[in-house]
Chain A
Amino acid sequence: MGWKEAELMRRRNVIFGEEEVSCWIEDGMSVGIGGMLLSSHPMVILRQIIRRKVKKLRVVGSILSSLDIDLLIGAGCVSQVVAPYVGAESLAPIGPLFRKAAENGEIEVWECDEGMYFAGLRAAAQMLPFMPWRGGVGTSYPEVNPDLKLFQDPIRGETLLAVPAIHLDVVLVHAAISDPYGNVQHVGTGFGDRALCRAAEKVIAQVEKIVPNEEIKKYPQNTSIIADAVIRSPFGAHPFASPGFYVEDRIHLNEYLFAANALAKEGDERPFADYLKKYVTEPETHFDYLERIGVRRLFSLNEF
């Protein structure tokens, strides 16, 4: 084999830059976003999506979504939200901009509960048109979300709910490590990330650290996701937590909520516009963003 052939036979590296890979996300796509509540949202890519002014996304959040989606809504990127919850627990029981946009009809909420959410993802993963589900029978779910349809099951004749497959063009997750070939490992359960990725056409994973392939082979049972693209993103879930690395930045989340509440509750656009400018549009890359946050703050977010 000559050197050229040998070069062709080399295993393909899937490490991408954040700007390059964010171009995979186009207007109108169905985009899944991993993590849960105050943990593990792929903020590096989400900020790139806002900078690129991507519009009309169908955003499929995590089972319990948070201010990641609230931010995307505030930045005008979203037309539909698929998520059983959008909020920040005791910090904000409901995402303020999510609530405002839903009440004003600026976004459509594809109502589903956690069980239906996983049923829809499973249908997509198994390339089935729908998955039967019982939770929600007798409720207003089929009324508030006409895509959920009651039907008579052909086996026992029971009334069940058909949950259509939740199609995903691309899924974005934040995890602990990956090798250069897209073998991703989480610390902790990875929340609903696996279920999202199984339903997706393409998976983009930001990771705290890119490690050599040998590290992955030490514990192959820990590999949770095979990604099509990997982005090196230390502190990439900030202001949210990243299991095994740092906890959520409550000071920053409150700064966000102050700006979002001013817009949602008082119609004062200035604080939110300032937030977007300071933390999203002015810093051009993730490392510019981290410089704005500052090392002292970042290194104060310890798990111990």
Chain B
Amino acid sequence: MNINSLQRGSYTIRELMAVWISRQIRDGEVVGGGGGTLAIARAGQLLAHLHHGPNMRFLSLVSMNLHCCPSLSLSLFESVADWRVSRWAEAYWIPSEIYDQLRLFRKRVLFISGIQIDKYGNVNLFGMGNDFRNLDFRGPGGLGAATGTTYAGRYYIFAASHTPRVFVERCDYVTCVGWGEGGKEARRKLGLPGGGPVACITSLCIMDFDEETKRMRLKSVHPGVSISEVIENTGFRLMIPPNVEETEPPTIEELEILRTKVDPEGLLRGSD
């Protein structure tokens, strides 16, 4: 993809994605995770906190329940394991204790990524290939995603690139169940307490799920992206409703907070 085509007016697609993520988070909710590879999601969370979420809590992988503060910028600590982030901690627990308090996950909003994503929002992080002992492509592994998506109040799927290789008819392996084989009862039948995936954001568009079938459905396309571009880059038959909006661009206020406080170094303004 041509980098220049990602520039839409005065903001980048990565900034647009961060702003969209920020708008999904409500005040008082619990967010967390996200390392260097998920800079966009991390930026969206920090932006939400500074823009409209004074009561948000940030559950860091270094295990602090953090009420973050305005000086916590995106590039400050590149490693998730950097303990210096604890200077903003209000609580402190060891990582295994996070999994001793899964009730907290009901208030949690999660953002996950995948090497394959199917039409029911199931996600593969393991790898691609028929033989698991001899994969064609080994993915990063499951991290905490299976447990997180089982319990999180709701979650969002995030794809930095939108290609038919990522959006597939069926995942080779399922690391996180979204809507399984489809239907709004899919998760209840499996006994999964969390609310499941509600939307998917990519470099081209926003997709949500049909209320009954739980199939992925186009919701909005980013400025300058055509519906046919999305269809061509999706490996399954995407539901296209009669009205597809354009993803709402960032407001001046959001961009100002994003650029001056969250991302002063411009990580999201660089190329993908």
Contact = CB atoms under 8 A, between A and B. Distances in A.
Nearest to B98: A114
B173 A85 contact: no
A136 B94 contact: no
Interface string B31-52: 0000111010000000000000
Nearest to A158: B191
Most central of A84, A135, A158 by chain B CB within 10 Å: A135
B96 interface: yes
A90 interface: yes
B147 A94 contact: no
B232 interface: no
B94 A116 contact: no
Given A89-B37, A114-B147, A134 B191 contact: yes
Given A89-B36, A139-B176, A140-B175, A241 B140 contact: no
Contact of A104 (B134, B174, B175): B134
Given A37-B35, A103-B138, A191 B95 contact: yes
A86 B143 CA distance: 9
B266 interface: no
A83 B141 contact: yes
Contacts of B150: 134-137
B83 A187 contact: yes
Given A113-B142, A189-B63, A103 B135 contact: yes
B78 interface: yes
Given A86-B141, A105-B133, A118-B99, A39 B81 contact: yes
Interface string A1-41: 00000000000000000000000000000000001111110
B86 interface: yes
B245 interface: no
Most central of A109, A133, A137, A138 by chain B CB within 10 Å: A138
Contact of B95 (A63, A89, A112, A139): A63
Interface residues of B, number: 55
Contacts of A119: 99
A303 to B, nearest CB: 6
A36 B143 contact: no
B145 interface: yes
A217 interface: no
Contact of A241 (B82, B148, B149): B82
Interface string A155-167: 0001100000000
B126 A39 contact: no
Interface in A76-123: 83-87, 89-91, 93-94, 98-99, 102-105, 108-109, 111-116, 118-119, 121-122
Interface in B64-113: 64, 78-84, 86, 92-96, 99
B174 A140 contact: yes
Interface in A173-207: 187-192, 194-195
Contacts of B95: 36, 63, 114, 118, 189, 191-192, 195
B144 interface: yes
A113 B81 contact: no
Interface in B106-140: 124, 126-127, 132-140
Contacts of B39: 90
Contacts of B175: 113, 139-141
B177 interface: yes
A73 interface: no
B82 A108 contact: no
Contacts of B132: 143-144
Contacts of B177: 137-139
B146 A139 contact: yes
A113 B98 CA distance: 13
Given A89-B78, A113-B144, A138 B173 contact: no
B62 interface: yes
B168 interface: no
Contact of B62 (A89, A102, A116, A189): A189
B62 A188 contact: yes
B96 A118 contact: yes
B99 A115 contact: yes
A90 B192 contact: no
A87 B140 contact: yes
B142 A111 contact: yes
Contact of B143 (A84, A140, A189): A84
Given A134-B150, A191-B94, A241-B79, A303 B84 contact: yes
Interface string B215-231: 00000000000000000
B83 A159 contact: no
Given A135-B150, A159-B191, A39 B83 contact: yes
20 contacts: A36-B61, A39-B81, A64-B143, A84-B144, A89-B37, A90-B37, A90-B78, A93-B140, A94-B138, A105-B134, A112-B142, A113-B144, A134-B147, A134-B193, A136-B146, A138-B174, A139-B177, A143-B173, A195-B94, A303-B84
Interface of A: 35-40, 63-64, 83-87, 89-91, 93-94, 98-99, 102-105, 108-109, 111-116, 118-119, 121-122, 133-141, 143-144, 158-159, 187-192, 194-195, 241, 243-244, 247-248, 303
Counting from the closest, the 9 A-B pairs by CB-CB distance are: A90-B36, A135-B147, A115-B147, A114-B144, A188-B83, A37-B81, A39-B81, A138-B177, A140-B173
